[in-house]
Amino acid sequence: MLRIGLTGGIGAGKSTVAAQLANLGAVVADADRFAREVLAPGTPGLAAVAAEFGPAVLAGDGSLDRAALGRLVFADESRRRALEQITHPLVAQRTAQVLDDAGPEAIVVHDVPLIVEKQMGALYHLVLVVHASERVRIDRLLASRAMSRDDVRARIAAQADDGQRRAAADVWLDNDRPAPEVAADLSVLWEGRLQPFEANLRAGTRADRPARAEIVPYDGSWPAQAARLAARIDLAAGALGCGTQHVGSTAVPGLAAKDVVDLQLGVRSLADADEVVVALAAAGFPRVVGVTRDNPHAVLESAADPAVWSKRFHANADPGRAVNLHVRVVGSPGWRAALLLRDWWRADAVERSAYQGEKQRLAAATDSAAEYADAKEAWFAVAVDRAVAWGRRSGWAPPG
């Protein structure tokens, strides 16, 4: 089952996007609808809300006066939290029911307003944020709801801002545009990314990669992408993991690189690495069979013995984001080398530039990504000694 978290600010139009995804074949779990259902007349949820907030939040017919409740909770964070303590467990029960009924081949879209605010992104394979400008959102809400302009602004102010949403978004959908343009983008997303992602996830296979290595300019969004991916990996690994770190070229500001995010999950032993294989695959990172060690170098405590360079290697099932996930024992030569090289390139502009030039030269001279990776080894065999020397001079130690 592929789990998509769908979110956006009030008035951004995520309900419309959810409906379009449902038409494409998604199973939609709508948290707002569930929130209305659990507070319907006669429900334990409504009784609990009335007990907490008083009869003023009930309409004359005994139903919930949502406008009255909204005026209370959106102006007072403590009252909003009190409401959430009542409604969130009830909504979670309804959501679990929908997920259980969806089946293993489903693409489930969980429509949740507070994914960003509650830092829930790691629960999903992807987070899709629907965006609209504040002016558009205000106009939509004034036209569609019995709310004053002050109420609308208070609701918007109580939610995450655009910068926070961008940091949480794997997919950013601009919903200020004409509806046919948005629908076209959703169709491309569905057919080009979500359906293949689900198929790869179910089969436990990595997504296809470009045949040749292409070096692209540094992308300032790479660290945020890595942080989202690391959170999912850490959640999947649980207590068997010792933290996931961004390594490789995309972890070095200013360095041109292949558009592949390299991550390193630390474990206490390779037995622990093998224990998390299933969980990592379910999170979207299937193991790549046959890759069992790094190329050894006679550095880092003279660790040239191939056995101490053993690791496990996973990659992305998501065709929209290439990931190399190296699972290494904490303190092992490969684990240390990945962190040392990253920090060396971050600190030394001359070495960073030299590495970038070598990458660009080899990418142009090789016919495949595999040839490119093999060709880099000759450069590493020499460069790693300089990295070790830098580490000794600078007093470098692995972070954490």
The 10s digit of each residue's pLDDT in 146-189 is 777 888 888 888 788 889 999 999 999 999 999 999 999 999 99
Range of the domain at 92: 2-203
pLDDT band at 32 (very low <50, low <70, confident <90, very high): confident
Q: Are residues 180 and 246 in the same domain?
A: no
Mean pLDDT of 214-225: 97
Neighbouring C-beta atoms of residue 221, cutoff 10 Å: 11
Q: Could you tell me if 219 and 259 are in contact, meaning their C-beta atoms sit under 8 angstroms apart?
A: yes
Helix (H, G, I), strand (E, B) or coil at 288: coil
Q: Are residues 135 and 167 in the same domain?
A: yes
Residue 217 domain-assigned? no
Nearest to 316 by CA among 230, 201, 214, 192: 201
Q: How far out from the chain centre does Cα 133 lie?
A: 23
How much of the chain exceeds pLDDT 90, in percent?
A: 69
Indicate the burial class of 84 (C-beta count within 10 angstroms; 0-12, 13-18, 19 or more).
middle
Residue 270 domain-assigned? yes
What is the predicted pLDDT for the residue at 155? 80
Residue 305 domain-assigned? yes
What is the predicted pLDDT for the residue at 389? 93
Nearest to 233 by CA among 268, 204, 262: 262
Residue 400 domain-assigned? no
Q: Are residues 194 and 303 in the same domain?
A: no
Q: Are residues 234 and 288 in the same domain?
A: yes
Q: Are residues 234 and 338 in the same domain?
A: yes
Mean pLDDT of 23-48: 92
Joined tokens for residue 226: 């890595």
What is the predicted pLDDT for the residue at 299? 56
Q: Are residues 386 and 318 in the same domain?
A: yes
Q: Domain count of the chain?
A: 2
Q: Are residues 259 and 326 in the same domain?
A: yes
Out of 137-151, 224-238, 306-320, 329-343, which region has the weakest mean confidence (pLDDT)? 137-151
pLDDT band at 302 (very low <50, low <70, confident <90, very high): low
Q: Are residues 168 and 227 in the same domain?
A: no
Q: Are residues 143 and 252 in the same domain?
A: no
What is the predicted pLDDT for the residue at 152? 82
Here the CATH number for the domain that contains residue 84 is: 3.40.50.300
Residue 78 domain-assigned? yes
Domain finish residue from 174, 203, 232? 203
Averaged confidence pLDDT in the chain? 92
Q: Are residues 263 and 343 in the same domain?
A: yes
Domain finish residue from 169, 203, 237? 203
- Phi/psi region, residue 21 (left: phi>0; alpha: psi -120 to 50; beta: rest), is alpha
What is the predicted pLDDT for the residue at 303? 58
Q: Are residues 275 and 199 in the same domain?
A: no
Tell whether residue 13 is among the known ligand binding residues. Answer: yes
What is the predicted pLDDT for the residue at 136? 86
Nearest to 311 by CA among 322, 300, 324, 321: 324
Residue 334 domain-assigned? yes
Here the CATH number for the domain that contains residue 289 is: 3.30.460.10
Q: What's the pTM value of the predicted model, to 2 decimals? A: 0.88
Q: Are residues 193 and 49 in the same domain?
A: yes
Out of 85-89, 213-217, 257-261, which region has the weakest mean confidence (pLDDT)? 85-89
Residue 212 domain-assigned? no
How far is the C-alpha of 138 from the C-alpha of 102, rounded, in Å? 35
What is the predicted pLDDT for the residue at 301? 53
Residue 360 domain-assigned? yes
Tell whether residue 238 is among the known ligand binding residues. Answer: no
Tell whether residue 11 is among the known ligand binding residues. Answer: yes
Tell whether residue 376 is among the known ligand binding residues. Answer: no
